[in-house]
Structure 1
Amino acid sequence: MVKLLIDTCVWLDISKTTKGEKVLDLLCEFLEREEVTLILPEIVIQEFDRNKDRVIVDAGKSLSSHFNKVKEMVVAHGDQDLKDSVLSQLNDINHKIPSLGENAFNSIQRIEELFEKSEKLTLTDEIKLRATQRAIDKKAPFHLSKNSIGDAIIIETFSDYKARNQAQEFKLIFITHNKNDFSLKNGNQKLPHEDLEEIFDSPKTQYFINLPEALNSINSELVEDIEFENDWDFEPRSFSEIMEVERELEQKIWYNRHQIRVQMIEEGKIKLIEREDFEIKTANRTIVKDIWEGALESAKKVEEKYGIENLYWDDFEWGMINGKLSALRWTIGDDWDNLDT
């Protein structure tokens, strides 16, 4: 027997798309065959209940917005001979969009039925204290500069359940889509963050970022007909999501270069000068004082946003970060190797 603790974000993602319906069908098959059971922290129930109405509304709204943009592009740039036919087909599809909200509603109902049959895990004072201690120690999921108390309570509930059932023979699996908070910081995101290694320290306790992959590891024969590889890992990113990450990488790379300038100023390799003393021929060895003061203020803002402890990496990790920025900029139409900040 395998017991699954599925993070709130996974349940919400399942309820959003038709792909999620297939994953839900697969999970129900495993439950009916008693291959797995579900363990469910109280906070997951609360978070799901708080977000489910938004998911239903967004299910139709998001696709409708993209759909209208497609129609605008067809009208503006489509082949004249094919335009009428394409628009006619798009209009037929447009009438089906409202049903996506209904699909989300049905998926949410099915999920709540699974919740009713799950083993509920009560939130104790001990779990709250350990989650709070993670915040004090800035351990994952508090390694980022944001309030992650809900995530900390979920992972500590999982850890508590593991500790209370050490003598049992069943396996425990934790599944999340929240790679930023729970996965390895710089490396294979299918592995848990370094701060969570003591929780996932044996083959009986496993970490997954893909529910179908977790089920496949339990009984691959039941998932042979499901194309699970692309369910969550390779969804196309939205432009706004790409730009958000591009901006984050740009700020972190700028901060790294700023710290190099701090060191060079301390070593006397770069001098601070008044604006009237600036000369283009010495620009590489001097910085105007008021410009430097602005840079120091910008550096403080970056530290406050990301946490100073999250702004230092070794040479390999910095190479990865620079490569990511170059790749993202290429996807939005820039030239390769543009690392300007």
Structure 2
Amino acid sequence: MPERQVEKGSLGQVIMDGDVELLVPSLVIDEFERNRERIEQSMTTSVADRFRLLQKDLETLTAEWHRPGFEAINALAYEMPLIGAMAMRNFRDILELLRAGWVLEPSDAERLGVVERGLAKQAPFHRHKNSVADALLVELYATAGGESEDGTYCFVTSNHLDFSVENGDQRLPHPDIEALFDGESSRYYLGVCGLQAAMVDHYDPDEFREILDVSDFQENPRTLDAILEAEQEFFDRVWYERSVLHTYRYEQGESDETPEQYKVSKDAQARVRERRPDLRLCDSDFEWGVSAAAIGDI
């Protein structure tokens, strides 16, 4: 399971359990929603483009031993819509986590802190670019952590350029903001690995492994071969039920088919039973209806 997927699941689990609360500046939600459509489109388009290029490259390979790889890629083509849907769902899940957090609205005090930080060229303004939004994150975190003496606060970011030490261990905060982190009640973490480290530091190893086990739900898409096999299975079951009913009517003298047609039906039934030893007649009309409907749901 991808690392980001694991952390999203485990974070959602501990939030649902009430052990962790996200501090979410409102500007983070605004920025996420503003860029969401563009990023979703770029992600799905990028995957599709790479896939098409790979298919095109494989078409030039004609050796017989290339065929399994070519067939596997063709089978994956049927999963492309699901890959796009999973990307969309990831964005929805993340947005739900953000909205469920403690939304922080900037006050005049935080805005003033941003101005003072900018005038002093302190991080994140040390890179000589417009870092107002990043600076506001720092000020909001400082206020939230300073107003409470309970619990442990963690600043988790993937933006090492603006927040981490410039020449050294990027897991450490920039000297301009390091006073916010005492390593106990307030801690600095970098990236997805940092998020995992924050959770490991908070929970004992056994408890954290249990959280991962609970949240590690994997939804693996079915391959084209699996879909076709399921379709064939239900087709065989529905066909067999109808065929047996048809031959039964002939045996009861209720059908005008010829003996040759009857023999063809019986031989076909025998072939299907040989291919599917577990084949049996449905116990009820409801069971038969479920099998018939399943063909359309695959």
Global fold match (TM > 0.5): yes
- Percent identity over the alignment is 26
C-alpha distance after superposition, 1:311-339 (max 9, x if no partner): xxxxxxxxxxxxxxxxxxxxxxxxxxxxx
CA distance in structure 2 between the aligned counterparts of 1:201 and 1:207, rounded to whole angstroms: 9
* Aligned residue type for 2:172: L
Q: How does 1:1-341 map to 2 (within 5 A)?
A: 19-76=3-60, 78=61, 80-165=63-148, 168-209=149-190, 210-219=194-203, 220-224=205-209
Runs of 4+ in 1 over 4 A off after TM superposition: none
Match of 2:280 in 1: none
Number of corresponding residues: 208
CA distance in structure 1 between the aligned counterparts of 2:83 and 2:131, rounded to whole angstroms: 31
* 3-state SS, counterpart of residue 169 of structure 2: coil
Match of 1:287 in 2: none
* Structure 1 residue 181, shift from structure 2 partner: 1.1
Q: Given that residues 144 and 181 in structure 1 are in contact (C-alpha distance below 8 angstroms), is that contact kept between their aligned partners in structure 2?
A: yes
* Aligned residue type for 1:36: V
CA distance in structure 2 between the aligned counterparts of 1:163 and 1:98, rounded to whole angstroms: 47
CA distance in structure 2 between the aligned counterparts of 1:55 and 1:32, rounded to whole angstroms: 27
Gaps of 5+ in 2: 214-298
Q: Given that residues 44 and 87 in structure 2 are in contact (C-alpha distance below 8 angstroms), is that contact kept between their aligned partners in structure 1?
A: no
Change (3 A) 1:133 1:101: farther
CA distance in structure 1 between the aligned counterparts of 2:85 and 2:59, rounded to whole angstroms: 29
* Structure 1 residue 18, shift from structure 2 partner: 5.2
Change (3 A) 1:91 1:222: farther
Match of 1:284 in 2: none
C-alpha distance after superposition, 1:285-333 (max 9, x if no partner): xxxxxxxxxxxxxxxxxxxxxxxxxxxxxxxxxxxxxxxxxxxxxxxxx
- Structure with higher RCO (Cα < 8 A, 6+ apart): 2
Deviates more, 1:170-179 or 1:109-118: 109-118
* Structure 1 residue 25, shift from structure 2 partner: 1.0
* Aligned residue type for 1:82: W
Q: Given that residues 123 and 157 in structure 1 are in contact (C-alpha distance below 8 angstroms), is that contact kept between their aligned partners in structure 2?
A: yes
CA distance in structure 2 between the aligned counterparts of 1:74 and 1:222, rounded to whole angstroms: 47
Q: Given that residues 208 and 214 in structure 1 are in contact (C-alpha distance below 8 angstroms), is that contact kept between their aligned partners in structure 2?
A: yes
CA distance in structure 1 between the aligned counterparts of 2:54 and 2:208, rounded to whole angstroms: 34
The structure having more radius of gyration, on CA atoms, is 2
CA distance in structure 2 between the aligned counterparts of 1:40 and 1:108, rounded to whole angstroms: 16
* Structure 1 residue 110, shift from structure 2 partner: 2.2
* 3-state SS, counterpart of residue 198 of structure 1: helix
Change (3 A) 1:75 1:135: farther
* Structure 1 residue 75, shift from structure 2 partner: 4.0
Gaps of 5+ in 1: 1-16, 228-341
* Aligned residue type for 1:112: L
* Structure 1 residue 117, shift from structure 2 partner: 2.5
* 3-state SS, counterpart of residue 212 of structure 1: helix
Match of 2:222 in 1: none
Q: Given that residues 162 and 172 in structure 1 are in contact (C-alpha distance below 8 angstroms), is that contact kept between their aligned partners in structure 2?
A: yes
* Aligned residue type for 2:91: I
* Structure 1 residue 119, shift from structure 2 partner: 1.4
C-alpha distance after superposition, 1:122-166 (max 9, x if no partner): 11111112112222222111121321111111111101112222x
C-alpha distance after superposition, 1:223-258 (max 9, x if no partner): 43759xxxxxxxxxxxxxxxxxxxxxxxxxxxxxxx
* 3-state SS, counterpart of residue 155 of structure 2: strand
Alignment RMSD = 2.3
